[in-house]
Amino acid sequence: MSSQTEFGSRAASLASIISEHTAKVEAYHKENDIPSLNFDPKDTFIDIKYPIDIEASKTAVLDATAELNDLFTGPRALVSNPGFPLLVKFVTLRFIYQFKLVEKVPLDGEISYVELSKETGLKAATLQQLLRAAMTFQLFREQRPGYVSHTSVTLFLLRSEVFRDCTGFTTEDMMPACFAIVDSLLADPTASDPSKSGYMIAHGASDPSFYMHLAKDAEKMRRFTNCMSQATAGPQWSMHYLTDFFPWTSLEAGATVVDVGGSTGKAAYAIAEKAPELQLIVQDTAEAMAAAEQQKGQNGDRPDSGNVRHMAANFFEEQSVKNADVYLFRSVFHNWPDSQAVGILKAQISAMKPGAKILIMDELMPDAEKMTLSTARTQRLMDMAMLALGNSRIRDEPSWRALCQEADSRFQLEKVTHPEGSMLALMEVVWTPYKNHPRLSYFEAGGPFGSININIIGGSEITLFVKQKPHYHGSRVERKFSGVFPAWDSRSNWTARSGHFQVDESRPTHKECPETPFVLSQFGMSAVILPTSEIETVKSLPESQLSIKHHHYNVFLGEYSYMGTKADEFDAAMRHILVRNTPVILESFVAEVDYAVDKYIGKCEEWTPIKVRHAMSMAASAMSGRAFVGLPLCRDPEWVASTTSYTQDVSRAYIYLRSLSWFTKPFLAPFSPEVRSLLRHRKVNVEKLEPLLRAKQAKSAQDGDEKQGQRSFETRANDPPGGEMLDWFISRYRKSPTAHQLARDQLLVTFASIYNLSNALSYIIFDLAAYPEHVEELRQELKEVTGTTGVIDKISLPKLRKLDSFIRESQRMSPPSIANIPRFVTSPSGFQTSTGHVIPPGNTIMVRADAINRDANLWPEPDKFDGLRFSKLREQAGNDNKFQHTSTGADNINFGHGIWACPGRFFASAEIKVILAYIITNYDLELKPETGKPGSFHYGFAILPDSEAEIMFKRRD
């Protein structure tokens, strides 16, 4: 009895809802002189766009009607005859489409079954049987017995090829595909292969996907295209949801947006109208580009817009447009199963700079409990269509998040916006290159019993002697016996909300507190950043008070990389012999540059894209190797592979070891791939240097020299240039060194030279391509100074003032670090600054390099690149020997300053000039057409060039 009461109550309630909301819709029609709802052909083309409240009433009627229909149909009929009415509807639709019956029935009249029989070749009885079934779905009508005429539904089909194609796609293509879904699951239970979808099985297709199959059949492609254009023609698909619900105008002027799979470019042109200062690139197949050309000026496109261009591309292949700010995917991913969608995301990785976004505008399945019955049926219908066509689906928010994580954990779905009234949601996915590493709070703090290191994985900031308030501009850190510091912590996003995140954070602090130390926390360490007024104090203090070696040992994993370890012979050779004998080293560079550049850049007879960071790393390795070990070892493939990958492996080990707590590190580190790689490099260096050392020892004994390296440099005149540095290192040992000791020296030189050289050279190449107005002037200087040979020697090297200026300007604009002169406080009483602050022992201090590089008081227009800035300064009286690339001082700490200024800077500067002279003389350079000047990203305190960036090279005649 109760169930009957519940049925009656629910049915009556639904009937009441239908009556109430139907009345609202009818009242709206009457108030606005709109005919009442009917199937009269004369009202066919009334396009009713309801306001939100009336649209809600329409939805309420549809929901209630659907549920009421199910209630009255009852469980038995719903199960025993679940889809027969729908099946009959589709069968009759297909019948009407195949026999072109809408075209055969007169527009304003009627036709008898007998006449239709003559035109179709079908029996009149069969026509009558099928058409009367169709009439139960408002498909045609029989106003008098035996005669067929149109309803508003069939008039739509008659008057619109688009609607006829929609019918054709539904009945000819989709229905067979839907019926074959189960067969496809039997063939591929994972439903992950688009070539085995219901559509592909139903149509006997063997192509990789539904889309490739369509491309072979013009009729099918037309039906699909017209059906999709009609399905997406309503206001719920409006481009304003794209242009108004993402902050396009907040992007920097000139920012690049790539519309991936953008078809004819409607989305790109809409964005261009909203934000004309952006540069937009539409990527799709060559066929889509041809279609875009044909559709110029149609459908609201603006193909004459100068900031939108088209390029052929396949979104399954590596993204060719590097360092864009936004990669837009509108209505792309719902067409592909997860396996392919993951592939699309992965194909973008190599192009993305830190902080870049993938903006996905696609269908989003609402939460089940939030959908009305009619909404749920519409959404599930679309979901089934995606499954039938390509084994894809309409994803809900958790599925989108899972998809991003499966592609790469560094993809972070940061924001989901589903505007009211829109069929599509906007999902902002941010590329955070280092998010896959555990979040790490690390602080080295001192106390009365020595230094303490605290590692907290995935936790909040914990620092000894620090009381830190919530983080915002003006927050403070109170440090025991230290005073007050502003504090900035970027570890929560640690290196790359944007390409200049750490600089963006530190500059406001410097501006607010130019003479106050502040704490800057980065991945793996925190440092007290000192004002520039502290340079003169810090530069001269001994290791017993402020230690650079202790800093290097901590930061660069001295236990495994040798950095910061005791190496007196190495230090002596670098600080004394190397500095005095740069001209000798110069000969090695000149002897090797042809081989190095030709091998790693190539002939480039035509414009050729070159990955600059890789090429410069290899070239720097070759030339440094020539100076250190000479021929033939410097060209040995195993040696080259080891030396070039060593610096990268130190970085990988750094990331891994910093993620370990102090008590697990001794047990896990030796077995980690990262550390084992460093140990392999040690082994390779020892194995390669041992025979070389034995040969030098034998020759020394034969020549009667007590130690190799004591021979005068004049006695080497007949030897091929190279290997001098190894001799110098050997000469500093009181007894003959072991191969292990020389391997240590070699790896120390490798890390210092290749890492910094390749980064600096990359930036300079970027600048040469970005500022071509300087290139010819530099060529002219090279010609004037070196003559016809173009060879740099000890006489011509210091005369290349313009080249020296260009190099220093590049370093000023793209320094190796945001802070420099790093020191570890070793004094038991701490380090007292001139401002009265006391930094406790066990902490790292650094000085603000960025504040100097961009100081308007030092450099007019500091944010403008001026390649001749420093050569012009040197022309002024008294400045002849100032403002050189290798000069250090309060106006340039990029090489450090004071007793621990980089001793290898003269070596590095000479090598850079030899390489650049060769490149400038023999190649033309330019930026790739689709990209701007390559950017940089932050790795802790370091600033690194984009390792994937390419510059175009072409050999000069």
Q: Would you name the residues annotated as active-site residues?
A: 334
Instruction: Give the 3-state secondary structure of residue 261.
Output: coil
Name 802's Cβ contacts closer than 8 Å, sequence gap at least 6.
777, 778, 781, 867, 868, 871
Interatomic CA distance for residues 295 and 811, integer angstroms: 48
Would you say 178 is a known binding-site residue?
A: no
**Is the previous residue joined to 632 through a cis bond, with omega within 30 degrees of 0?**
yes
Beta-sheet strands, E only, within 628-725:
none
Q: Please answer whether residues 926 and 952 qualify as being in contact, where contact means their C-beta atoms are separated by less than 8 angstroms.
A: yes
- Closest to 362 (Cα-Cα) out of 385, 386, 333, 384: 333
Burial of 48 (0-12, 13-18, 19+ CB in 10 A): middle
Name 558's Cβ contacts closer than 8 Å, sequence gap at least 6.
552, 564, 565
Phi, psi of 678, rounded to the nearest 5 degrees: -65, -40
Interatomic CA distance for residues 220 and 13, integer angstroms: 46
- Closest to 352 (Cα-Cα) out of 948, 951, 957: 948
Interatomic CA distance for residues 822 and 504, integer angstroms: 20
Q: Please answer whether residues 403 and 337 qualify as being in contact, where contact means their C-beta atoms are separated by less than 8 angstroms.
A: no
* C-alpha angle 446-448-450 in degrees, rounded to nearest 5: 50
- Tokens 């002897």 label which residue? 591
State which H helix or E strand residue 376 sits in.
helix 373-390
Q: Please answer whether residues 412 and 429 qualify as being in contact, where contact means their C-beta atoms are separated by less than 8 angstroms.
A: yes
User: Which H, E and C letters describe 75-129, residue by residue?
Assistant: HHHHHHCCCHHHHHHHHHHHHHHHCCHHHHCCCCCEEEHHHHHHHHCCCHHHHHH
- Order of strands, edge to edge, in the sheet holding 518-522? 466-468, 476-479, 483-489, 518-522, 525-530, 844-848, 819-825, 546-547
Q: How many CB atoms lie within 10 A of CB 639?
A: 21
Phi, psi of 216, rounded to the nearest 5 degrees: -90, -10
**What is the separation, in whole angstroms, between the first and last Cα of the chain?**
99
Token readout for 896 is: 């450090």
User: Binding site: residue ranges?
Assistant: 902
Binding site for heme: which residues?
Answer: 902
